[in-house]
C-alpha cells in the first residue's frame, strides 16, 4: 500500500450547545486503506464521520480530499458516501430503486443505470434480489443493499458508521469477511466506525482509537494492540493487566520499578526519573506459567496461586493471586492448560512485553 | 386430529358471535332498514310498504341534485386540498423539531377539538358574519362602506369552517407518519446527492402516502355528509347534499331522504375503492 494521503482531517472541533463532541481531531487517511475508528459510545465517532460526509459542519478545523479544501462543500459535491448506523434504506423502494437512487438523481441514462446496478449487485452478491422490496430482506441482505447503494457512485471514500451493530454475532462475522473482500475488489478508501474492538481488529489495516472527542492513538493495528500509549487504549483493545508502580532505578532504557512490594523490570524509550509513578500494561497471553521456578534472563518472574479458571474455547483464562496479594490474569492455549485452581505456580513475562503507559 | 381442529374453529366462531352481532345490530341493521325505506313511495310522515324505484329515478333525473352533489364535491375537495397544504408544513416542522416540544405544541393544537363544535361555528359567525369582526375591520379601514355578506353564508365560509374543524385531524396523521421517518433517511438521500426539493419529491411525499390515505378516510369522506356547517354558514352557494338529506329526513319525507343517503353512501364507497386501488391496502398499515 502506497502512503499517498487521500483524506486529511485537520484540527476539527465540534460543539453541540454545551457538549464538546470533538476536541481537536487531526487525522491522515491513506488511499486504499481500511481505517477503523474505535471508541466507546459518545466518543464522537459518528460526529467525525458526519463532518467528513458534509452532513455536519465543524465548529472549527478543515477537511481536505486529495489536497482540496472541501470543508464548505455540501454532501452532494463530495466524493464520499456514508453507510448509516441503521442503514437508512428507503423503505418504499425496491432493491433496484434504492441502489439506483444516486444515479437517478443525477439524471444518468436508464441503460447505464441498469448496467451499473447489475454490476454492483453482482459485487455484493444479491443480484437475484433486485426486484424485492427492501423491507422484505434479512438484516444481512439489507446490509448489502446499503453497501451497493453507496458503492454504485464510486466514492473515493466510503464511510461506514457501525453498519453491523444490529446483526447477530454469526452474521457479523460472515459480513466481516465479505466486507474485506468487497474492499479489496473495489480498492477505494474505507473509514469504518465501531465500538467493538474485535470487529476493529478483524477488519482494520489501521486502527484509530477515540475517547471523549479526541483521537488518542492511531496506527497499524498490531502496533496499537502491542504498544498502546495510554491506559485507556490498553484496556479498550483486548484484555490486559495494569500494574501501578513507581520507578526506583533507571539504567538507560532499562528501568526497575516497585509494584506493591515486588520489583519489576521494564524496558522503555521514555525519559523516566526515579520516584515517578508509572502504569505498566502486560497482556495476559504474554505471561507464561510454570510449576518449577524458571531461571530465564530478561524475564520478570513471580510466585502465586491459581484462584480461578475460565474456559473460553480455544484458550483458558486463569486468575492468579500473587504473593503480594495482587490478582493477575493469564491466558493459556487450551491444549497447554494443565493447571487447576489451588495450584502453586510461577508466572513470567519478557521484560519488553510490559508496556509503560502515559496514563 | 381433524376433529380437534374443528372443535377449535367452532369455539373460535362461538366466541366471536357477540362481536359479530354487535357490528350487525349497530351498523348494518339500520342501514338495511334505511335501504328498505328508500324503495317505498315518497310520502310525508308515513312509510307505505310498497316497492317502487320512484325515489331513485328522481335522484338520477332531477338536475338540482346534480348541482348540489357537484357543489358538495367542490367544497370538500377544496377543503381537503387546503387542509393538506396548511396541515402538512405544520406537521413537518413539528416532526422535525425537538420531540418533546413538538408533541407539546401538537397537544395545544388539538385542544380546540374538545370545544363543542356548534360553539366553534358560532365563533366563526362572530368573525365572518354581517356584523362580524372582519366586516368591522374592513369598514374601519375604509376599504368597504357597507358590511359584506359574502364572507358568511357562502361556500367559502363552509370551506373555512371545515378547515378549522378538521385541521387537527390532518396534522396528527401527518405528524405520526413524519416522526416515523428517521433523520438518517433524509441524511442518506442528501449523502447520495439529492437536493432538498428532490428529497421532498422522492422520499417525503411517497412516505406520507399512509397519512394522506388516512386523511381521505378520516376527513374527506365524512365531510361529504356534512350538514351542520353548510346549514349554519353555507347559504345558497354553500349548500351540500347533507343539508338536503337532513331537510327531507327531519321533514318526515323519509323515503326520498333515504334514497339520497344511499346515493351518497354508494358514491363514498366507490371513492374509497378508488383510493384503495391507488394506494393499496398496505398503505394503511405499513410505510
Ligand atoms: N445533534 C446533536 N446534538 C447534540 N448533541 C449531539 C448531537 N450529536 C451528537 N451529540 C453529542 O456528541 C457526543 C458524540 O456523539 P457521537 O454520536 O459522535 O458519538 P459516537 O461515538 O458515535 O457514539 P455511539 O457509539 O453511541 O454511536 C455525544 O455526547 C452526543 O450526545
Ligand atoms: Mg455513533
Res B128: pLDDT: 79
Phi/psi of residue A247, nearest 5 degrees: -70, 130
Q: pLDDT at residue A48 above 80?
A: yes
Helix locations, chain A, DSSP H = 45-53, 95-105, 110-123, 139-151, 169-186, 197-203, 221-226, 231-236
Phi/psi of residue B79, nearest 5 degrees: -60, -45
Question: Which cell numbers in the block locate residue B128?
Answer: 365572518
For chain B, percent helix, then strand, then coil, each to nearest 5? Answer: 80, 0, 20
Res B232: pLDDT: 83
Res B34: pLDDT: 86
> Which amino acid residue places its CA nearest to atom 4 of ligand 1?
A16
Q: Is B202 on the interface with A (CB under 8 A)?
A: yes
Res B2: pLDDT: 56
How do the domains of chain B map onto residue ranges? 63-284
Q: pLDDT at residue B129 above 60?
A: yes
Distance from Cα B96 to the centre of ligand 1, integer Å: 18
> Which amino acid residue places its CA nearest to atom 7 of ligand 1?
A16
Helices (H) and strands (E) in chain B, counts: 16, 0
- Confidence band, pLDDT 50/70/90 cuts, at residue A14: very high
Q: What is the mean pLDDT of chain A?
A: 93
Best of A46, A49, A90 to substitute, by most chain B Cβ atoms within 10 angstroms, is A90
Q: What is the 3-state secondary structure (H, E, C) of B71-110?
A: HHHHHHHHHHHHHHHHHHHHHHHHHHCCHHHHHHHHHHHH
Residue of chain A nearest B283, judged by CA positions: A92
pLDDT tens across B221-245, in order? 889 989 888 988 888 888 999 999 9
Res B283: pLDDT: 61
H/E segment holding residue B269:
helix B254-279
Rounded Cα gap, residues A37 and A240, in angstroms: 20
Of A14-28, A89-103, B95-109, minimum mean pLDDT range: B95-109
Neighbours of A181 (CB within 10 A): 13
Rounded Cα gap, residues A331 and A357, in angstroms: 21
Closest-CA residue to A25 (of A41, A42, A8, A38): A8
Ramachandran category for residue A86: left, alpha or beta (phi over 0 → left; psi -120 to 50 → alpha): alpha
Of A31-35, A82-86, A316-320, B139-143, minimum mean pLDDT range: B139-143
pLDDT tens across A92-128, in order? 999 999 999 999 999 999 999 999 999 999 999 999 9
Question: Which cell numbers in the block locate residue A223?
Answer: 502496533
Q: Decide if A117 contacts A130 (C-beta within 8 A).
A: yes
Of A208-217, A253-262, B81-90, B145-154, minimum mean pLDDT range: B145-154
Chain B contact set for A86 (CB, 8 A): 182, 184
Could you tell me the domains of chain A? Answer: 5-236 (3.40.50.300), 241-357 (2.40.50.100)
Q: pLDDT at residue B8 above 90?
A: no
Ligand 1 pocket member A228 (CB < 6 A):
no
Residue of chain B nearest A134, judged by CA positions: B287
Ligand 1 pocket member A221 (CB < 6 A):
no
Would the CA dihedral through B222, B225, B231, B234 be positive or negative?
A: positive
Question: Which cell numbers in the block locate residue A296?
Answer: 530465564
CA distance B155 to chain A (A): 38
Q: pLDDT at residue B84 above 90?
A: yes
Report CB contact under 8 Å: A101, B190: no
Mean pLDDT score, A184-195? 95
Res B285: pLDDT: 55
Res A1: pLDDT: 47
Contacts of B248 (CB under 8 A, 6+ apart): B254, B256, B257, B260
Contacts of A99 (CB under 8 A, 6+ apart): A117, A120, A121, A145, A148, A149, A152
Ligand 1 pocket member A182 (CB < 6 A):
no
Distance from Cα A49 to the centre of ligand 1, integer Å: 11
Report CB contact under 8 Å: B194, A55: no
What does the radius of gyration of chain A's CA atoms come to, in whole angstroms?
Answer: 25
Residues from A in contact with B at Cβ < 8 Å:
50, 53-55, 74-76, 80-82, 84-92, 101-102, 105-106, 135, 149-150, 153
Nearest to A105 among B187, B192, B206 (CB): B192
Mean pLDDT score, B246-254? 85
Percentage, residues of chain A above pLDDT 90: 82
Mean pLDDT score, A125-137? 93
Q: pLDDT at residue B1 above 70?
A: no
Percentage, residues of chain A above pLDDT 70: 99
Res B52: pLDDT: 86
Mean pLDDT score, B138-161? 83
Rounded to whole angstroms, what are the CA distances from B140 to A236, B146, B149? 76, 11, 16
Report CB contact under 8 Å: A84, B195: no
Res A220: pLDDT: 95
Q: Decide if A113 contacts A132 (C-beta within 8 A).
A: no
Question: Which cell numbers in the block locate residue A248?
Answer: 526506583
Which atom number of ligand 1 is nearest to the Cα of residue A56? Answer: 1
Q: Is B265 on the interface with A (CB under 8 A)?
A: no
Res B11: pLDDT: 84
Q: Fold for domain B63-284?
A: MetI-like fold (1.10.3720)
Ligand 1 pocket member A12 (CB < 6 A):
no
Report CB contact under 8 Å: A106, B286: no
Nearest to B193 among A76, A88, A92 (CB): A76
Mean pLDDT score, B73-85? 95
Q: Decide if A160 contacts A83 (C-beta within 8 A).
A: yes
- DSSP string covering A19-51: EEEEEEEEEEEETT-EEEEE--TTSSHHHHHHH
Contacts of A311 (CB under 8 A, 6+ apart): A334
Mean pLDDT score, B107-119? 79
For chain A, percent helix, then strand, then coil, each to nearest 5? Answer: 30, 40, 35
Q: pLDDT at residue A359 above 80?
A: no
Ligand 1 pocket member A46 (CB < 6 A):
yes
Mean pLDDT score, A74-86? 92
Rounded Cα gap, residues A218 and A191, in angstroms: 13
Q: pLDDT at residue A46 above 60?
A: yes
Of A305-319, B14-28, B67-81, minimum mean pLDDT range: B14-28
CA distance A105 to chain B (A): 6
- ipTM given for this complex: 0.84
Rounded Cα gap, residues A325 and B222, in angstroms: 80
Mean pLDDT score, A157-178? 91
What spatial distance separates the first Cα and last Cα of chain A, rounded to whole Å? Answer: 33
Helix locations, B111-217, DSSP H = 117-128, 133-140, 155-179, 183-191, 196-199, 205-207, 209-215
Mean pLDDT score, A250-268? 90
Rounded Cα gap, residues A214 and A13, in angstroms: 9
Pocket test for ligand 1, best of A20, A39, A44 (most atoms within 8 A of CB): A44
Nearest to B193 among A50, A85, A106 (CB): A106
Helix (H, G, I), strand (E, B) or coil at A182: helix
Ligand nearest to the CA of A48: 1
Amino acid at each position: 500500500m502506497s502512503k499517498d494521503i487521500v483524506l486529511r482531517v485537520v484540527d476539527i472541533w465540534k460543539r453541540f450547545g454545551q457538549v464538546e463532541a470533538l476536541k481537536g481531531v487531526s487525522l491522515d487517511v491513506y488511499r486504499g486503506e481500511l481505517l477503523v475508528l474505535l471508541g466507546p459510545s459518545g466518543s464522537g465517532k459518528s460526529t467525525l464521520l458526519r463532518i467528513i460526509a458534509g452532513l455536519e459542519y465543524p465548529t472549527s478545523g478543515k477537511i481536505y480530499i486529495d489536497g482540496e479544501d472541501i470543508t464548505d462543500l455540501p454532501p452532494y459535491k463530495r466524493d464520499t458516501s456514508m453507510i448509516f448506523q441503521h442503514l437508512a434504506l428507503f423503505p418504499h423502494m425496491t432493491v433496484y430503486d434504492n441502489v439506483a437512487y444516486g444515479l437517478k438523481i443525477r439524471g444518468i441514462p436508464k441503460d447505464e443505470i441498469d448496467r451499473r446496478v447489475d454490476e454492483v449487485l453482482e459485487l455484493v452478491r444479491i443480484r437475484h434480489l433486485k426486484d424485492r422490496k427492501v423491507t422484505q430482506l434479512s438484516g444481512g441482505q439489507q446490509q448489502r443493499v446499503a453497501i451497493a447503494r453507496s458503492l454504485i457512485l464510486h466514492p473515493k471514500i466510503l464511510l461506514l458508521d457501525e453498519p453491523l451493530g444490529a446483526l447477530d454475532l454469526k452474521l457479523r462475522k460472515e459480513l466481516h469477511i465479505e466486507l474485506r473482500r468487497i474492499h479489496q475488489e473495489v480498492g477505494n478508501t474505507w473509514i469504518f466506525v465501531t465500538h467493538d474492538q474485535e470487529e476493529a481488529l478483524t477488519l482494520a489495516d489501521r486502527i484509530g482509537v477515540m475517547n471523549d472527542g479526541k483521537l488518542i492513538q492511531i496506527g497499524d493495528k498490531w502496533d496499537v494492540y502491542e504498544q498502546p500509549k495510554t491506559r485507556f487504549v490498553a484496556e479498550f483493545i483486548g484484555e490486559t493487566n495494569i500494574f501501578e508502580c513507581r520507578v526506583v532505578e533507571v539504567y538507560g532504557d532499562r528501568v526497575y520499578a516497585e509494584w506493591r512490594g515486588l520489583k519489576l523490570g521494564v524496558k522503555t524509550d521514555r525519559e523516566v526519573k526515579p520516584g515517578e509513578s508509572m502504569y505498566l500494561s502486560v497482556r495476559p497471553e504474554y505471561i507464561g506459567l510454570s510449576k518449577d521456578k524458571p531461571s530465564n534472563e530478561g524475564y520478570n518472574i513471580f510466585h502465586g496461586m491459581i484462584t480461578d479458571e475460565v474456559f473460553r474455547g480455544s484458550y483458558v483464562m486463569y486468575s492468579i493471586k500473587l504473593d503480594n496479594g495482587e490478582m493477575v490474569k493469564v491466558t493459556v492455549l487450551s491444549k497447554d492448560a494443565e493447571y487447576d485452581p489451588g495450584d502453586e505456580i510461577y508466572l513470567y513475562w519478557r521484560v519488553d512485553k510490559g508496556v509503560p503507559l502515559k496514563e | 386430529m381433524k376433529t380437534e381442529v374443528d372443535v377449535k374453529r367452532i369455539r373460535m366462531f362461538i366466541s366471536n358471535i357477540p362481536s359479530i352481532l354487535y357490528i350487525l345490530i349497530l351498523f348494518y341493521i339500520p342501514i338495511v332498514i334505511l335501504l328498505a325505506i328508500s324503495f317505498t313511495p315518497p310520502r310525508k310522515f308515513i312509510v307505505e310498504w310498497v316497492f317502487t324505484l320512484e325515489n331513485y329515478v328522481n335522484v338520477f333525473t332531477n338536475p338540482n341534485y346534480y348541482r348540489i352533489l357537484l357543489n358538495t364535491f367542490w367544497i370538500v375537495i377544496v377543503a381537503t386540498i387546503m387542509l393538506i397544504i396548511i396541515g402538512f408544513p405544520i406537521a413537518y416542522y413539528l416532526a422535525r423539531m425537538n420531540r418533546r416540544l413538538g408533541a407539546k405544541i401538537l397537544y395545544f393544537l388539538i385542544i380546540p377539538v374538545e370545544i363543542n363544535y356548534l360553539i366553534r361555528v358560532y365563533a366563526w359567525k362572530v368573525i365572518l358574519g354581517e356584523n362580524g369582526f372582519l366586516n368591522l375591520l374592513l369598514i374601519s379601514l375604509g376599504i368597504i362602506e357597507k358590511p359584506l355578506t359574502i364572507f358568511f353564508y357562502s361556500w367559502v365560509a363552509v370551506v373555512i369552517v371545515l378547515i378549522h374543524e378538521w385541521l387537527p385531524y390532518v396534522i396528527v396523521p401527518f405528524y405520526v407518519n413524519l416522526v416515523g421517518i428517521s433523520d438518517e433517511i433524509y441524511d442518506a438521500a442528501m449523502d447520495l446527492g439529492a437536493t432538498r426539493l428532490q428529497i421532498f419529491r422522492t422520499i417525503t411525499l411517497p412516505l406520507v402516502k399512509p397519512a394522506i390515505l388516512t386523511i381521505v378516510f378520516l376527513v374527506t369522506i365524512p365531510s361529504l355528509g356534512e350538514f351542520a356547517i353548510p346549514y349554519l354558514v353555507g347559504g345558497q352557494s354553500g349548500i351540500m347534499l347533507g343539508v338536503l338529506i337532513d331537510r327531507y329526513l327531519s321533514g318526515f319525507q323519509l323515503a326520498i331522504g333515504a334514497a339520497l343517503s344511499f346515493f351518497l353512501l354508494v358514491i363514498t364507497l366507490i371513492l374509497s375503492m378508488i383510493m384503495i386501488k391507488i394506494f393499496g391496502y398496505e398503505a394503511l398499515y405499513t410505510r
